[in-house]
Structure 1
Amino acid sequence: MENLVEDCLFCKIIRGEVPSYTVFENDDVKAFLDISQVNPGHTLMIPKKHIVNMFDYTDEDAKRYLQYIPEIANAIKKAFPNVTGMNITTNNGKSANQVVMHSHIHFIPRFEGDGVQLVTRNNADQYDDTKYKEVAEKIKKEF
């Protein structure tokens, strides 16, 4: 448990000051049910180090904490055999709807006909070959 913050909800959950419905825990991460339960089994995984979001992960952090994603996803799928898919998402920053400023991964089990909709938009009609290449090059040069 590294660099935990006093007033962070998820740090409080890690310290046991706030109860949670834990489904998996080890020295690196804690996974527990999201109180919203978009669908049964909706789980959050958090690092036991206070990291605000993906923009703050080091390569070492990513290797240490994100390795558990497949294991948690598969446990949820096995627990609910009628799962037909799963949204594995993270919101990074307020404009991306991050509410708790401690990195967390959502595992939202999906069931055929569950009615859950994650809203996106298709802007393909605003792009041509030149614009796609321009955007791709802008990102490529940052690696």
Structure 2
Amino acid sequence: MSSCIFCAVVAGTAPGRIVYSDDDVVGFLDIRPVTRGHTLLVPRIHSAGLDDLDPAVGAALFAAGHRVASALKAGPMAADGVNLALNDGRAAFQTVFHTHLHVVPRHEGDKLSFAKGLVVRRDPNPDETADLVRASLEAAG
């Protein structure tokens, strides 16, 4: 889909800090992160939402989410937990209509900084964060 920003990131025609890639899914840092390391996982094949998402691609999307979440907890990001979220439809706060899974690292006692992140949504050093996420994935194998 030519007007989809996530399709453009997948195609390499729009910028994105890519941290994960396999045959079905591409992962990149959210440009408005709630927490440091907030990663978006998108299917390579466009689907606007769950209604037109091939179930096999959805399974691959969640498998990638599991892998990234595990790596964020075990690797240099040292997350204590992870939120996985998929917003499906405008009423569910979906703003980019290409199915995507949010992988949001969490740390013990981060409720105040998490709430602040929902408002501020910026990472002061996204290149360093992308390196940390990649290192976490490499360490996880």
Partner of 1:79: 76
Tell me which amino acid in the other structure corresponds to 1:79.
P
1:4-23 aligned at under 5 Å gives the runs: 5-23=1-19
Which of 55, 59, 71 is residue 55 of structure 2 equivalent to? 59
Partner Cα separation in structure 2 for residue 94 and residue 55 of structure 1: 13
> What runs of 5+ residues in structure 2 fail to find an aligned partner?
116-141
The offset of 1:86, in angstroms, is: 1.1
Greater RCO, 1 or 2 (C-alpha within 8 Å, sep 6+)? 2
Q: Which has the higher helix share?
A: 2
Tell me which amino acid in the other structure corresponds to 2:70.
N
The offset of 1:47, in angstroms, is: 0.3
Partner Cα separation in structure 1 for residue 20 and residue 69 of structure 2: 11
Corresponding residue pairs, total: 113
The offset of 1:113, in angstroms, is: 2.3
Partner Cα separation in structure 2 for residue 19 and residue 35 of structure 1: 10
- Runs (4+) off by over 4 Å: none
Structure (1 or 2) with the larger CA radius of gyration: 1
Partner Cα separation in structure 1 for residue 21 and residue 54 of structure 2: 22
Identical positions, percent: 35
> What runs of 5+ residues in structure 1 fail to find an aligned partner?
118-143
The offset of 1:92, in angstroms, is: 0.4
1:38 aligns with 2:56: no
If the length of structure 2 is used for normalisation, what is the TM-score? 0.73
CA RMSD of aligned residues (A): 1.7
If the length of structure 1 is used for normalisation, what is the TM-score? 0.72
